[in-house]
């Protein structure tokens, strides 16, 4: 079953990604600033993200599995996958809030928020350290918090990945969808310039429970951190772009984000 499921999820995920990319080309919902080389950077970042997510867990999964809190491996596949998805989303929600609340974590996570475009090419645009953090958070949810059979863990992780990619798509979607999962319009609020808060999850549940759920009808505001910051070299160095911009403005030199 695992091999067949592997192939199904791999091809299914690629098909979803291909459809979202095609829609971004032929029918983008919103216009964003052009960023030179953005699609290539997004593709390379996606490849690295999946490589890190695939191989890094070998460093810690065995240890986490030996200390798992709940063992669900005897449950039916569907029940395991459903509970596993909820466990992953809970851990992911908490981790995502920490990325915004803890200054040194934000220095790495800001790379994802620096993008001035909001599309599927930016869905996996992360700092390598941030990629490791998300890989570990995934293991915490699917290996330590609830122990799942490999096929159930694989299904839950891939389904969450599809949700995460979808919410970055440059599409217009019906508002009712936001009561169940994060719509692109909702996650765009999370990336809105000057805000970068709220709508932390792939599903609506935990944002609704913890008061961070926002479900606008439309979204047409700018995203990113500063003008021209999408591919700023300081992002890889973990330097806070907003703090740097404020210091530059205060010193009398031209601001990176002029008003």
Q: What is the tens place of the pLDDT at every residue in 216-234? A: 999 999 999 999 999 999 9
Residue recorded with tokens 């021209």: 228
- pLDDT tens digits, 94-113: 999 999 999 999 999 999 99
Whether the pLDDT of residue 152 is over 60: the answer is yes
Q: What is the dihedral of CA 43, 122, 154, 83, to 10 degrees?
A: 180
Q: Give the pLDDT score at 101.
A: 97
Residue keyed to tokens 């009398």 = 252
- Tens of pLDDT along 77-93? 999 999 999 999 999 99
* Amino acid 2: pLDDT: 64
Q: With cut-offs at 50, 70 and 90, classify the pLDDT of residue 258.
A: very low
Helix (H, G, I), strand (E, B) or coil at 26: helix
Burial code (b: 16+ CB inside 10 Å, e: under 16) for 191-201 equals bbbeebebbbb
55 vs 52: CA distance, rounded Å: 5
Predicted confidence at residue 3, as pLDDT, reads 62
DSSP 8-state symbol, 70: E
Q: Is 129 left (phi over 0), alpha (psi -120 to 50) or beta?
A: alpha
Radius of gyration of the chain (CA): 19
Percent of the chain with pLDDT over 90: 82
d(CA 133, CA 92): 10
Which pTM was predicted? 0.90
* Bridge partners of residue 101, in order along the sequence: none
- The four Cα atoms 2, 50, 167, 244 give a dihedral, to 10 degrees, of 160
Mean pLDDT, all residues of the chain: 91
* Residues in Cβ contact with 17 at an 8 Å cutoff, skipping those fewer than 6 apart: 120, 165
Cα separations in angstroms, 102 against 50, 52, 96, 165:
25, 23, 10, 25
């Amino acid at each position: 079953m695992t091999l067949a499921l592997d192939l199904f999820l791999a091809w299914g995920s690629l098909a979803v990604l291909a459809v979202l990319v095609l829609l971004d080309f032929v029918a983008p919902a919103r216009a964003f600033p052009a960023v030179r080389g953005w699609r290539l950077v997004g593709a390379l970042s996606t490849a690295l993200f999946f490589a890190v997510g695939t191989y890094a867990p070998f460093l810690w999964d065995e240890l986490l599995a030996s200390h798992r809190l709940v063992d669900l491996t005897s449950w039916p596949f569907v029940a395991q996958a459903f509970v596993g998805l909820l466990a992953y989303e809970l851990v992911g929600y908490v981790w995502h809030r920490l990325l915004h609340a803890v200054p040194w974590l934000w220095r790495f996570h800001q790379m994802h928020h620096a993008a001035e475009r909001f599309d599927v090419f930016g869905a996996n645009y992360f700092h390598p350290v941030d990629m490791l953090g998300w890989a570990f958070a995934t293991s915490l949810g699917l290996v330590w918090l609830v122990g799942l059979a490999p096929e159930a863990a694989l299904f839950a992780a891939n389904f969450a990945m599809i949700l995460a990619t979808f919410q970055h798509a440059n599409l217009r979607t019906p508002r009712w969808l936001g009561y169940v999962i994060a719509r692109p319009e909702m996650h765009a609020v999370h990336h809105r310039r000057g805000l970068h808060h709220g709508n932390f999850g792939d599903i609506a549940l935990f944002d609704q429970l913890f008061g961070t759920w926002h479900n606008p009808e439309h979204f047409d505001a700018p995203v990113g951190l500063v003008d021209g910051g999408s591919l700023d070299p300081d992002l890889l160095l973990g330097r806070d772009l907003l703090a740097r911009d404020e210091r530059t403005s205060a010193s009398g030199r031209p601001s990176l984000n002029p008003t």
